[in-house]
Amino acid sequence: MVAACLATAAGQTLRVDFPAESPVTVVSADWGASEASPRGGALVVDLHTTLRLRNSGAAAIRGVTLVVLAQEVTPGGKASVSVPSLNVAPGETFPVRIDLRLLRPLQATAGPLVRVELDGVLFDDLTFYGPDRLNSRRTMTAWEIEARRDRRYFKSVLAARGPEGLRQEMLASLARQADRPSLDVQISRRGRATALAAGRRLEFAFLRWPDAPVEPLSGAALVAPQEARDAVLDVRNRSGRLVRYFEIGWILQDRFGREYLAGSVPAEILLRPGETAQVSTDTTLRFSRAVPVEAMKGFVSRVEFDNGEFWVPSRERLAGDRLDRLIGPSPEEQRLVNLYRKKGLEALIDELNRF
Amino acid sequence: MSHPQANLLALFAGGELPWWMRWRLRRHLGVCQTCRREVEGYRRAAAWFRQAAAELPADFDWERAAAEMRANIQLGLEAGECVSAPGRAPAALRWRVAAALASIAVVVVGGWWLHMPHPKAPRPEAPLVESTSDGIQVRESEGSLALLNPRAAPVMVFASAEGAMTARFVDEETGLVTVNNVYVE
């Protein structure tokens, strides 16, 4: 392993470990304003670093995911930082910024407090390198498929409606992002020692898309003013292909008609053509405020086939059912809109023409 | 730096502002830690009150509770008149009245206390993930690990029922999309 062990201002350590044969290598690390300060009986450690990585491989990189581990502090949890929508040619470098805060007991621990490891790198031919402990291959591949879908769409807008049409699309996307309803959520596994409010069982209404390989048949969850839990979904694989993963988007509607994306229900399950299955969650979604839930909607947001290919909803489907304002833009749309906002229409058109 | 009025921050915390005002306030909150803390405080207080209300027994009889309170107040007033009349009651009687009042007070306060919904602070025995005004974090009994949001850029947060939380934003310096995740195992 190639290791870079870096000291923070508080004398604690952060260790960056990449495999020796990794197609990305650490060039440098900038530590900015990292610091540690006592708070009551605990120590708050703020770590701010920008790792500069080099593409040492032979293919262009589309995305990278780093795992962030603090085993002494949170043995039951972990974190990761991903950078999708990259276009890094061999030999080029790119930054990955990590801003983290640790709250830990004052007692000193031996060894590195935080370890940063490589979970995976996605290349432009959709090949992947890395241990993939966080399923980052799946996530980054889906982002890349969405990125291609969105670039194709914006290019078609440019071709059909010209620069002014593209500008309108960017402004509409900015408006959707500003208007996206948000709901702060806390997630815990079942069995956690918290008071569960008495819930009522509510059925899902599904958005049925004929081109979706997986069809939701029925489903329900327990909802209370401040939480939703125990979602159970029945689905059928109506495609002619073996499905190994899918996600259902979960929308809550309150009594005033306001809708929120509560979360997604992922399922890693082998579904043969025509087969039905039931999936359930063992987590509780606890909201930061009471939401008088009157109805729930579900929609298929992602399907992975056995050969690693993906299905994602088209932009037309998302816009037609007004889901685009709820689920937000793809990472690539977010990047392109930001490019337009910062550098203008010409820069955006140049960027689209690079692909 | 000028700060928004407190009532606007409270309305923002409750999601009650129209979108353009929400957008303006969100921009301010992106750069003002003081106001972010204020909003977080409003949210916590509102959450506590809602939780308290939600945890009242389903069959709680408000009419009866009001009637009991009126009766207790009336009884207290009448008892007060008894003890406040100077020189009319012997000392033993005054002590008996005082003891009765004390008993009533114990019953009333005890009943109120038992019916009062007490906030149950989550005991993080098992890890959980959550979004806060600072970012997303995984929290356990001994500590927490948070990935922080940028101060200036808008952040989109997503939850997954498999026990993961995602915060996505565009880094203002590099123009690159960054996706932070925290997971609970």
pLDDT tens digit string along B129-184? 998 888 999 988 778 889 998 877 788 999 998 889 999 999 988 899 999 999 98
What backbone torsions phi and psi does residue B8 show, to the nearest 5 degrees? -70, -40
Within 8 A of B147 by CB-CB distance, chain A residues are 68, 79, 81, 98-100
- Domain boundaries A2-134, CATH class: mainly beta
Instruction: Pull the structure tokens for residue A78.
Output: 């972990």
CB distance B168–A334 less than 8 Å?
A: yes
CB of A185 less than 8 A from some CB of B: yes
Q: Which two tokens stand for residue A158?
A: 């440019």
Q: How buried is A65 (Cβ within 10 angstroms: 0-12 exposed, 13-18 middle, 19+ buried)?
A: buried
pLDDT > 50? residue B87: no
Contact by Cβ (8 Å): A284, A192: yes
CB contact under 8 A, A74 and B180: no
DSSP code, position A125: T
How many Å lie between the alpha carbon of B112 and the closest alpha carbon of chain A? 21
Summarised one tens digit per residue, pLDDT across range A239-285 is: 999 999 999 999 999 888 889 888 899 999 999 999 999 999 888 88
Confirm or reject contact between A174 and chain B (CB < 8 A). no
Contact list, B131 vs chain A (CB under 8 Å): 184-186
Cβ of residue A264 closer than 8 Å to a chain B Cβ: yes
Of residues A234 and A183, more confidence is placed in: A234
Q: Which residues contact A186 (CB under 8 A, 6 or more apart)?
A: A285, A286, A287, A288, B122, B128, B129, B130, B131
- In angstroms, what CA-CA distances link A211 with A312, A314, A317? 10, 9, 10
Q: What is the pLDDT of residue A273?
A: 96
Q: Model confidence over A45-94: pLDDT tens digits?
A: 888 889 999 999 999 999 999 999 887 777 777 899 999 999 999 999 99
A293 touching B (Cβ < 8 Å): no
ipTM: 0.90
Eight-state DSSP code of residue B51:
H
Residue B66: φ, ψ to 5°: -65, -40
A285 vs B14, B51, B161: nearest CB: B161
The CATH class of A185-327 is: mainly beta
pLDDT average, residue stretch A158-174: 95
Which range of A167-171, B50-54, B72-76 scores highest in mean pLDDT? It is: A167-171
For A270, phi and psi rounded to 5 degrees? -85, 120
Burial class (CB in 10 A: 0-12, 13-18, 19+), A101: middle
Q: What is the pLDDT of residue A73?
A: 75
- Global confidence as pTM: 0.73
Calculate the dihedral angle through the C-alpha atoms of A195, A199, A203, A205, rounding to the nearest 10 degrees.
Answer: -70
Query: Where do the structural domains in chain A lie, given as residue ranges?
Result: 2-134, 143-179+333-353, 185-327
Say whether residue A181 is in contact with chain B using an 8 A CB cutoff: yes
CA B118 to chain centre: 11
pLDDT score for B37: 81
For residue A85, list chain B residues with Cβ-Cβ distance below 8 A: 176-177
Q: Kindly report the nearest CA distance between residue B49 and chain A, in angstroms.
A: 10
What radius of gyration, in Å, describes the C-alpha atoms of chain A?
22
| Set of chain B residues whose Cβ sits within 8 Å of the Cβ of A98 | 147
**A32 shares contact with chain B (CB less than 8 Å):** no
pLDDT at residue A225, as a whole number = 82
How many angstroms away from the CA of B48 is the closest CA of chain A?
Answer: 9
Separation CA A115–CA A16 (nearest Å):
6
B73 versus A170: the higher-pLDDT residue is: A170
Report the residue of A288, A293, A335 to disrupt the B interface, i.e. the one with the largest count of B CBs within 10 Å.
A288
Tokens of A111: 């060894």
